[in-house]
Structure formats: structure tokens, C-alpha cells
């Protein structure tokens, strides 16, 4: 079954527009989730909505949104009043600016979506907008409304579709200076930097997300399987990291450890790469012993 679209509307570039559908580009549905249950009965826990002061149940039709302006003082806002807020981009993803991708700070990137044509009617218009953005090498900025909230979205071509990433507003991004300004400037000896750079160099590679492994998720699955089969759960003892007092000593040990790991990998690679040759040498030695 095809996934359900998160949002449908129109993609608009000046006077060119086409119907589109947005789909979340990421999902956490496959992750293990736990429910809260009553240990005595094994039943699910249900939460009730109650008045914080009277402790009485509140009917759904009596619940409204409220903005706190003081202690125990709220301004009530009805759903009809929220709907009356004028938002021009409620059903349109209108591209109004193009910027270089290098100018978008990663701190502002929020949630990714796949954008595709909705039906065959606007496929050509969609392709025109996509290729214009691709050939200009820019990122389109547009506004869109999800669940009554307006978002700025960065658009860029991806395969035959578009990737849209919602951007955070400046008031949502904390200032780095509030966290980094108290870090003192250290005068680092050159030999320490050289050793650290060597460690970095030995760990150099390429971004390969298919090799990422969620060890905690795998451990949870194994725990659940053991519980289902009635096997005991044994808690592994925590291994404390080796305590190294001297930073230079820690760097040297790290370099030695990486070199040793590199030699082991190289040895395994050579053995795996030439199994016939290794087997041939063993056969030759066996024949020589028999002849002797």
C-alpha cells in the first residue's frame, strides 16, 4: 500500500503552478516502542483529562486552547478564531526566493519531505520547476502551512522529485555564544596536534549510512526475544574506560592502537583476498612433509 500523503496543495513559481503531494522523508515507525501497562493486571494504562484543581473529568467539548499570561490566568482561544488567522500559503507552496545552499546554516535545517507531482496533470510543470532549480544550482525558499503553523521550506532537486526541508525560525535557534564563549582558549603543543591528526587520518573514510548500526535497538530486540522464550536476562558488567592521566600518553596509546588495528585488518584482507594461494602453500608444505 502506498504511503498516505502528509500534505497536498500546489507548487507555485511565479505564474507556473502544479498540484503536489508531500511525504515525510524519514520515519521512526520501525523503532521498538513500549506501552505502559498495569503490572498487576497486564492491562494498558489509559490517561484521563481532568481539571487540575477539582480533579473531575473534563468532556472533550469543554476543552479549549489557552495562552498563559500570568499565574493561573489564561486567554482562551476558540478553534474558529485560530482558523480566522490569515495565512495566504495555506494550500500553496510558493517559491519566492533562491539562495546558494552554502548559505543555509545546518542549525536551521529541521524536517525533510519528499515532494512529488499529484496526478498526471501537472507533471510537466513540476519537471520544469525542478530542472530550473537544478540547473541554476540554487535552493528555493517557500512558505507552507502545516497544522495551522507556517513554515519556511528549502527546496532542492532530488532524483526525479524535490526534497523539501522545513527551516527553523531564528527565535528557535539558540545562540552558540551562550555555550561556547566560556570555553577557554588553550595553547596546544604542535606534537599533540600532529598525533591527533594522525588518529583522524587513520579513521578517514566515506559517508556510508548503510553501515550504521543501531546497537541499542538490536539489543532491545534480543532482550524481547529472550523474554518471549523464557530465558533469563543477564546484565553485563559495565567496562570502565582505561584511566589515562597524561593527555600526551593517551594520544600515543591511541596512535599505537590504531596502527595495531590497521595491521590486523590488512592481514585479514590479504588472507581473504588470496584463499587459493594460501591453501596452495599449505598443500605444498604438506606434500614436502610426506616426501621427507
Judged against a pLDDT cut of 60, whether residue 284 lies above it is answered with no
Q: In the predicted model, what is the mean pLDDT of residues 56-77?
A: 89
Judged against a pLDDT cut of 60, whether residue 54 lies above it is answered with yes
Judged against a pLDDT cut of 80, whether residue 206 lies above it is answered with yes
For the chain, residues classed under CATH 2.40.290.10 are: 7-26+85-172
177 SS3 class? helix
228-243 burial code (b ≥16 CB/10 A, e <16): eeeeeeeeeeeeeeee
147 closest CA partner among 128, 166, 134: 166
Q: Which residue has the higher pLDDT, 86 or 181?
A: 181
Q: In the predicted model, what is the mean pLDDT of residues 198-219?
A: 81
Q: How far apart are CA 258 and CA 243, in angstroms?
A: 18
* C-alpha neighbours within 13 Å on the C-beta side of residue 204: 6
* Separate counts of helices (H) and strands (E) for the chain: 7, 9
Q: In the predicted model, what is the mean pLDDT of residues 262-272?
A: 60
Judged against a pLDDT cut of 80, whether residue 55 lies above it is answered with yes
Which of the four CATH numbers 2.40.290.10, 3.20.20.150, 1.10.10.1100, 2.60.40.10 does domain 7-26+85-172 have? Answer: 2.40.290.10
Averaged pLDDT of the chain: 83
Render pLDDT for 85-124 as a digit per residue (tens, 0 to 9).
Answer: 656 556 889 999 999 999 999 999 999 999 999 988 889 9
pLDDT at 110: 95
Q: Which residue has the higher pLDDT, 281 or 191?
A: 191
Q: How far apart are CA 186 and CA 247, in angstroms?
A: 13
pLDDT band at 176 (very low <50, low <70, confident <90, very high): very high
Residues ≥6 apart with Cβ < 8 Å to 271:
278
Instruction: Answer yes or no: are the C-beta atoms of 136 and 149 closer than 8 Å.
Output: no
pLDDT at 115: 96
Angle between helices 190-202 and 247-273 (to 10 degrees): 30
Q: In the predicted model, what is the mean pLDDT of residues 204-228?
A: 79
Neighbours of 96 (CB within 10 A): 13
pLDDT at 245: 65
Q: In the predicted model, what is the mean pLDDT of residues 15-33?
A: 89
Pairing relation of β-strands 92-99 and 7-13?
Answer: parallel
Judged against a pLDDT cut of 80, whether residue 138 lies above it is answered with yes
Give residue 247's region: left, alpha or beta (phi > 0; psi -120 to 50): alpha
Q: How far apart are CA 263 and CA 180, in angstroms?
A: 39
Judged against a pLDDT cut of 80, whether residue 81 lies above it is answered with no
Q: How far apart are CA 263 and CA 33, in angstroms?
A: 41
Judged against a pLDDT cut of 90, whether residue 159 lies above it is answered with yes
Q: Which residue has the higher pLDDT, 228 or 157?
A: 157
Judged against a pLDDT cut of 50, whether residue 39 lies above it is answered with yes
Judged against a pLDDT cut of 90, whether residue 230 lies above it is answered with no
pLDDT at 289: 47
Instruction: Answer yes or no: are the C-beta atoms of 147 and 85 closer than 8 Å.
Output: no
Q: Which residue has the higher pLDDT, 241 or 244?
A: 241
Amino acid at each position: 500500500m502506498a504511503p498516505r500523503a502528509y500534505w497536498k496543495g500546489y507548487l507555485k513559481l511565479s505564474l507556473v503552478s502544479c498540484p503536489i503531494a508531500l511525504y515525510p522523508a524519514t520515519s521512526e515507525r520501525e523503532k521498538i516502542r513500549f506501552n505502559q501497562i498495569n503490572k498487576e493486571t497486564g492491562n494498558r494504562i489509559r490517561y484521563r483529562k481532568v481539571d487540575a484543581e477539582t480533579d473531575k473529568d473534563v468532556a472533550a467539548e469543554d476543552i479549549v486552547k489557552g495562552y498563559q499570561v500570568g499565574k493561573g490566568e489564561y486567554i482562551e482561544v476558540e478553534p474558529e478564531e485560530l482558523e480566522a488567522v490569515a495565512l495566504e500559503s495555506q494550500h500553496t507552496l510558493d517559491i519566492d526566493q533562491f539562495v546558494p545552499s552554502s548559505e543555509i546554516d545546518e542549525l536551521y535545517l529541521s524536517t525533510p519531505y519528499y515532494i512529488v507531482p499529484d496526478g498526471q496533470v501537472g507533471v510537466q510543470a513540476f519537471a520544469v520547476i525542478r530542472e530550473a532549480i537544478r540547473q541554476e544550482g540554487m535552493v528555493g525558499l517557500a512558505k507552507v502551512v502545516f497544522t495551522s503553523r507556517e513554515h519556511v521550506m528549502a527546496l532542492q532537486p532530488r532524483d526525479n522529485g524535490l526534497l523539501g526541508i522545513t527551516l527553523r525560525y531564528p527565535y528557535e535557534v539558540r545562540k552558540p555564544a551562550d555555550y561556547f564563549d566560556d570555553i577557554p582558549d588553550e595553547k596546544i603543543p604542535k606534537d599533540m596536534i600532529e598525533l591527533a591528526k594522525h588518529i583522524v587520518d587513520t579513521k578517514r573514510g566515506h559517508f556510508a549510512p548503510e553501515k550504521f548500526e543501531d546497537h541499542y535497538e538490536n539489543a532491545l530486540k534480543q532482550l524481547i526475544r529472550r523474554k518471549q522464550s523464557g530465558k533469563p536476562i543477564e546484565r553485563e558488567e559495565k567496562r570502565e574506560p582505561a584511566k589515562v592521566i597524561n593527555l600526551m600518553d593517551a594520544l600515543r596509546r591511541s596512535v599505537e592502537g590504531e596502527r595495531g588495528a590497521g595491521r590486523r585488518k590488512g592481514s585479514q584482507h590479504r588472507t581473504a583476498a588470496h584463499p587459493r594461494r594460501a591453501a596452495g602453500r599449505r598443500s605444498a608444505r604438506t606434500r614436502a612433509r610426506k616426501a621427507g
